[in-house]
Amino acid sequence: MSPLQSQSVSEAGNARHLLQQMLRVRRLEEKCVELYSAAKIRGFLHVYIGEEAVAAGVIETLTAEDAVVATYREHGHALLRGVSASAILAEMYGHAEGCCRGRGGSMHLFDAATRFYGGNAIVAGGLPLAVGLALADRLAGRRRVTACFFGEGAVAEGEFHESLNLAALWQLPVLFCCENNLYAMGTALVRSESQTDLALKAAGYEIPAWSVDGMDVLAVEEASRRAVDAVRSGGGPHFLELRTYRFRAHSMFDPELYREKAEVARWMERDPIRLLQATLEAAGQLPEEEWAALQAEVDAEITAAVGFAEAGTLEPVEDLTRFVTSEPAISGGSGQGRDSKSRESRVAG
Amino acid sequence: MKTTYREAVRAALRDAIQRDSRVFLMGEDVGRYGGSFAVSLGLLEEFGPDRIRDTPLSESGFVGAGIGAALGGLRPIVEVMTVNFSLLALDQIVNNAATLLHMSGGQFNVPLVIRMTTGAGRQLGAQHSHSLEGWYAHIPGLRILTPATLADARGMLWTALEDPDPVLIFEHGSLYNVAGELADDAGPVGIDEAAVLRPGEDITLITYGGTLPAVLDAAEQLAGEGIDAEVIDLRVLRPLDDRTILRSVGRTHRAVVVDEGWRSGSISAEIAARISEHAFFDLDAPVERVCSAEVPVPYAKHMELAALPSVERVVAASRRAAGSGG
């Protein structure tokens, strides 16, 4: 019996919360697509539509102390980690109010307050960072977990293998979350990997690994909770292969010539949001008015975020060279709140 | 006290690890082996495997882990055996270390130090002998240090570790055995400015790192010929201290740049360009450059030596500059 079917009344509150989290990601990205088509936001835009159960299920099991590392398809991870939809959209508008002051864009969302470390547009580039963040926790004696999201395309990269090896060798607290949506850009897994059983690959590094139905948010949450608990209690790195599917193209430029429409349609029948909604409705745990209210709340959040982003301001061009190197602190300390210009500005001219 | 460049670097490492509990050394063979160039010999016994951390041969993985550890609040020193091998970690260095602060709008600085050897002269063939620090100096967000003296070998690491941003330190392989006097109380040194190591009036010789000894020898030889050469040790390739260069050229009116990298697209090209941009009317002669031959560094000793800047070539270039114009 799958977790979706076994959902009990006592857990319904959590299920409704997960439903709402997935819907927030869905609505945010549907809005992104709309804004992109209207040329309000530019650059590469990779949406997560169809994969929401992965981010929602995993991030739900983390604490505020934990860290998250993600890829260029990371709007959902950022949002569910606690970065506001307003800050995310403003970033895509290239506005000063964006979470990276307009210097990152869709593929490079970061947020120190929520320990969200990107936003990495190089496939597998985030994996060594996750290993290092976990090493820092280990050496400092902190019981924190670093969750690292990456696609199945990353397993062909050397950094995947180097990172899994290091994490296992040093028994570091990393949860590797492989979002297997079957296509590395436009290349199917079977065309790029000699071994397509990804959990088996991880197991080759002596890392406990499971494959999970990534369209079933409750299954993801359950597996993630088990793995996170094991990682946190000193069990070393763990690996989850989350079998999912993106309903949209790789990016807004992708004509999707590499897969059949029928395949997409088949997967869309397992839409993680509809699956959970239907289960809750069938169990009488999601009255129509409650579902309507939930949707209205999400819609209001996204509408407000668009308003925030629209009303944003542009960073002054005079600040172009800021944040290339750190700026001297005005009154001690480090990090933000610095006003003086980059130390390289004198040679920039 | 009498010491060597190698011992000065080791003393700097020991001192850094003792001073700050966030500091650790990580890299290939740094622990049990004692360092590929024996720089970290004895440190594993002194500090243990958490602080002196042997890594597998996976440059991208452990350099990236160093970046992550820096993000996580530590002060890693990552040793990469040679600059040639650092190319395996180029993605992490360029796309993450140099870039995260800017992409994150100032939220995530990367206080990481990466040390590596550079340069030729030991018959190691092309894949261990190149001088690519000029490439790294191309990249905004990195600070590039090239200690050539015992004082800098001893003192640059300290200051680099206090920099909130990534710093790459290039140690020329032929300098490790250089011996000399170092002050007993040698400590941190500035990492912003070039140094005038030999004042002179007639010509400015500009170099850094492994070619500094040859340039100083050339200056002595030139003095015997009545040409009083000023020698500038750049010390820092990024951000480049062009003020010191321009001040000197403004007085001597002649410049020779000596760089072990290849001439095309090199740091010497950048320096020559800055001189022509900012001191064109001070010049009495074209800027001369002495660089490596545009070949992968060969193994055979006579071929390798022929490829590299030499005292003779520096002297010849200086004579040309001194003889022309004015």
CA separation for the pair A126, A71 (Å, rounded) = 7
Residue A4 is predicted with a pLDDT of 54
pLDDT tens digits for range B251-297: 999 999 999 999 999 999 999 999 999 999 999 999 999 999 999 99
Would you state the pLDDT for residue A3? 52
In contact, B137 and B168? CB cutoff 8 Å: no
Does B240 reach chain A within 8 Å, measured CB to CB?
yes
pLDDT band at A332 (very low <50, low <70, confident <90, very high): very low
Cβ A111 vs Cβ B46: under 8 Å: no
Q: Is the pLDDT of residue B321 over 70?
A: yes
pLDDT tens string B140-173: 999 999 999 999 999 999 999 999 999 999 999 9
Asked if residue B105 has pLDDT above 70, the reply is yes
* Amino acid identity for residue B257 in this structure: V
Chain B positions touching A136 (Cβ under 8 A) are 68-69, 71-74
What's the pLDDT at B94?
A: 98
More confident residue, B325 or A128: A128
Q: Which of A140, A158, A323 sits opposite B105 (nearest CB)?
A: A323
ipTM: 0.94
- pLDDT at residue A339 in the model: 38
| B61, B96, B106: residue with CB nearest A322 | B106
The yes-or-no verdict on residue A314 having pLDDT over 60 is yes
CA distances to A26, A51, A266 from A262, in Å = 22, 18, 6
pLDDT digits (tens, 9 = 90+) for A273-301: 999 999 999 999 999 999 999 999 999 99
The long-range contacts involving B262-265, CB below 8 angstroms and separated by at least 24 positions, are: B262/B291, B262/B292, B262/B293, B262/B294, B263/B289, B263/B291, B263/B292, B263/B294, B264/B294, B265/B134
Work out the percent of chain B whose per-residue pLDDT is above 70. 99
Which residue in B59, B63, B103, B275 has the most chain A C-beta atoms within 10 A of its own C-beta, making it the best mutation to test that interface?
B103
A128: part of which helix (H) or strand (E)? Answer: helix A126-140
A342: pLDDT strictly greater than 50? no
C-alpha A120/C-alpha B8 separation (Å) is 38
Percentage of chain A beyond pLDDT 70 is 91
Could you read off the pLDDT of B173-229 as tens digits, one per residue? Answer: 999 999 999 999 999 999 999 999 999 999 999 999 999 999 999 999 999 999 999
Distance from the A222 Cα atom to the nearest Cα atom in chain B, whole angstroms = 28
Mean pLDDT in residue range A231-238: 98
Give contacts of A 124-183 with B, CB under 8 A: 125, 127-137, 139-140, 158-159, 161-163, 165-166, 169
Looking at the predicted structure, is the pLDDT value of residue A329 above 90?
no
The mean pLDDT of A75-97, rounded to a whole number, is: 98
What pLDDT, in 10s, does the model give residues A12-56? Answer: 779 999 999 999 999 999 999 999 999 999 999 999 999 999 999
Return mean pLDDT, chain A. Answer: 92
Residue A197 has pLDDT above 70, yes or no: yes
**10 Å Cβ neighbour count for B320?**
14
Q: Both tokens of residue B294?
A: 């545009």
pTM above 0.80, yes or no: yes
Mean pLDDT score across all residues of chain B: 97
DSSP string, B116-179: EEE---SS--GGGT---HHHHTTSTT-EEE---SHHHHHHHHHHHHH-SS-EEEEEEGGGTT-E
User: Is the pLDDT assigned to residue A2 strictly greater than 90?
Assistant: no
Say if residues A254 and A224 touch (Cβ distance below 8 Å).
no
CB neighbour list of residue A106: distance below 8 Å, 6 or more residues apart: A32, A41, A43, A44, A45, A46, A72, A75, A91, A92
**How many CB pairs (< 8 A) connect A and B?**
161
| Chain A contact set for B62 (CB, 8 A) | 128, 162, 166
Interchain contact A335–B (C-beta under 8 A) = yes
Q: Which residue spans within chain A are E strands per DSSP?
A: 67-70, 116-119, 146-151, 174-180, 183-184, 187-188, 209-213, 238-243
* Three-state secondary structure call for residue B92: helix
| A130-162 per-position pLDDT tens digit | 999 999 999 999 999 999 999 999 999 999 999
CA distance A223 to B249: 68
Whose tokens are 């950048």? That residue is B270
Confidence of residue B324 (pLDDT cuts 50, 70, 90): confident
A207-220 pLDDT per residue, tens: 999 999 999 999 99
* Catalytic center residues of B: 59, 128
Closest chain A residue by Cα to residue B102: A323
Q: Which residue of A has its CA nearest to B62?
A: A128
Long-range contacts of A189-192 (CB under 8 A, 24+ apart): A189/A152, A192/A153, A192/A156
Residue holding tokens 């199945």? A152
CB-based contact A67 B55, cutoff 8 Å: no
